């Protein structure tokens, strides 16, 4: 109701609310036995703005361990409505080379997931990661630190031990731009001649594999507004699509939509855009804003990446 009451919102694509509770029990051949439990509470809505051929959709949702931590349904609805309305009148931007691209926190976590995928022990052991020979080297900008914390209070992926019964702990995966560790379980650690980092994860139907838990890119020191203030021409990304990322070479090419930036200000909404670069260069050209919030299992603040290609008209 909160979304539909906003002028310009013409329909809803649906709303949902859910609750779940789980208990994990693990017994391993090394003699370990342990158990833990958790819960999830979620709300979300998707809405349509505009009419005829000039329609746009957007959404908002939240997931928390405790229901009391959720924002109100009215707030979720208003956020979804505001996002959809801001997209009306979207058009293709001009094609531009070597321009800044700014990733909204809704999508900036994808940069963290590309990093954790590249340092996953399975990829490193197979030799299929573009970072396979970069341990201990500067792979990201000097101000970038990425943390994995399985013991984070109220973290969506928190757990007291990994899926092989090994102790886990908070680790800096990247510290001030320098790669500190691979993400390993027992199998991949053995393949690489190393010890497990306590990152084994598994479902009920297969063997364990390495995976991160609550991962975040640490906040920077500038506001999102200051991050874009000196951009003459650039792209503010609110949505990405497609699978055009090679974890072997680091090549990055994805469809995107969001807003065109001119003279340090949001100018107009854009869609049908392709953004391209290489993750090796993108990581080194990255600046983080100070607006980190913990909404997902993987979180990042607003991120600016200089020197990318934006393909529009």
Quick check: helix, strand or coil at residue 303? strand
Give 217-272 pLDDT, tens digit per residue: 999 999 999 999 999 999 999 999 998 999 999 999 999 999 999 999 999 999 99
Quick check: helix, strand or coil at residue 96? strand
pLDDT at 30: 87
pLDDT at 180: 99
pLDDT at 1: 78
Tally: H helices and E strands in the chain: 6, 16
pLDDT at 2: 86
Residues 6+ apart with CB under 8 A from 153: none
Give 80-101 pLDDT, tens digit per residue: 999 999 999 999 999 999 999 9
* Global confidence as pTM: 0.95
Q: Where do the DSSP E strands lie in the chain?
A: 9-27, 33-51, 54-64, 96-103, 146-148, 171-175, 178-179, 200-201, 209-210, 215-217, 233-241, 251-262, 265-278, 286-288, 298-299, 303-311
pLDDT at 54: 87
Whole-Å CA distances, 23 to 29, 159, 203, 224: 20, 11, 13, 40
Q: pLDDT tens digits for the chain (313 residues)?
A: 789 999 999 999 999 999 999 999 999 888 999 999 999 999 999 999 998 888 999 999 999 999 999 999 999 999 999 999 999 999 999 999 999 999 999 999 999 999 999 999 999 999 999 999 999 999 999 999 999 999 999 999 999 999 999 999 999 999 999 999 999 999 999 999 999 999 999 988 889 999 999 999 999 999 999 999 999 999 999 999 998 999 999 999 999 999 999 999 999 999 999 999 999 999 999 999 999 999 999 999 999 999 999 999 8
Q: How far apart are CA 196 and CA 193, in angstroms?
A: 10
Closest C-alpha to 84, from 13, 24, 168, 18: 13
pLDDT at 165: 96
| CA–CA–CA angle 116, 118, 121 (5° rounding) | 85
Torsion angle defined by CA atoms of residues 40, 114, 222 and 143, in that order, rounded to the nearest 10 degrees:
120
């Amino acid at each position: 109701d909160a979304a539909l009451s906003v002028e310009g919102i013409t329909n809803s694509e649906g709303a949902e609310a859910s609750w779940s509770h789980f208990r994990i029990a693990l017994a391993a051949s090394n003699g370990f036995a342990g158990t833990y439990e958790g819960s999830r509470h979620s709300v979300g809505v998707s809405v349509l703005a505009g009419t005829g051929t000039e329609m746009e959709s957007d959404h908002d949702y939240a997931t928390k361990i405790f229901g009391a931590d959720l924002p109100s349904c009215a707030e979720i609805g208003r956020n979804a409505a505001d996002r959809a309305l801001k997209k009306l009148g979207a058009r293709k931007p001009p094609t531009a080379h070597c321009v800044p691209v700014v990733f909204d926190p809704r999508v900036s976590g994808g940069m963290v997931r590309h990093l954790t995928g590249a340092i996953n022990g399975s990829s490193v052991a197979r030799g299929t990661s573009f970072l396979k020979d970069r341990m201990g080297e500067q792979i990201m900008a000097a101000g970038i630190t990425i943390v994995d914390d399985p013991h984070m209070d109220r973290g969506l992926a928190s757990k007291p031990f990994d899926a092989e019964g090994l102790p886990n702990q908070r680790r800096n995966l990247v510290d001030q731009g320098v790669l500190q560790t691979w993400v390993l379980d027992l199998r991949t650690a053995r393949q690489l001649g190393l010890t497990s980092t306590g990152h084994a994860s598994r479902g009920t139907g297969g063997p364990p594999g390495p995976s991160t838990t609550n991962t975040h890119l640490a906040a920077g020191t500038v506001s999102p507004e200051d991050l874009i203030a000196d951009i003459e021409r650039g792209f503010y990304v609110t949505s990405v699509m497609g699978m055009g990322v090679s974890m072997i070479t680091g090549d990055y090419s994805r469809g995107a939509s969001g807003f065109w930036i001119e003279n340090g200000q949001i100018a107009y909404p854009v869609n049908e855009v392709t953004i391209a670069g290489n993750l090796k260069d993108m990581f080194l050209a990255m600046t983080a804003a100070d607006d980190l919030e913990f909404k997902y299992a993987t979180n990042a603040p607003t991120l600016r990446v200089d020197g990318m290609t934006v393909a529009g008209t």
